[in-house]
Amino acid sequence: MESAIFYEKPFKIKPIASFPTYVAFSFANGFTFSLWSTQAKNFVSGGQGHRSELAFMVSNEDQVRALRNTWKEFGVRIEQELHEAVFGLTFVALDPDGHRIRVYMPDKDQ
């Protein structure tokens, strides 16, 4: 799964489990992030297309812009360019397996 290599860079860790159709990363706070391939044996899903996205909250607009520029330089596909959403500046990228990744900042009004 190409996404395993992709996520090693921003997470700065290696997966705790890695198989051709599944990968899992474990964090010090107890959170585990896992991805399944739709090609996995017995994979079952009740929908079509993208039904979720991974979101990274950063501190401010400059960080949103910097991540977009860095990822674009690395060849990451940007699905939705920088724009103002109801909560502030954001963009959406796709990992190598097509998972949506949103980068955004805290709501300015909160």
Domains and their CATH numbers in the chain? 1-39 (3.30.720.120), 52-110 (3.30.720.110)
Antiparallel, parallel or unpaired: β 17-19 and 22-26: antiparallel
Taking alpha carbons only, the member of 30, 31, 29, 6 closest to residue 18 is 6
The answer for 12, left when phi > 0, alpha when psi is -120 to 50, beta otherwise, is left
- Specify the pTM: 0.74
Q: In what order do the strands lie in the sheet with 17-19?
A: 17-19, 22-26, 32-36
Segment 8-60, tens digit of pLDDT = 988 889 999 988 888 889 999 888 888 877 777 766 666 666 667 888 889 99
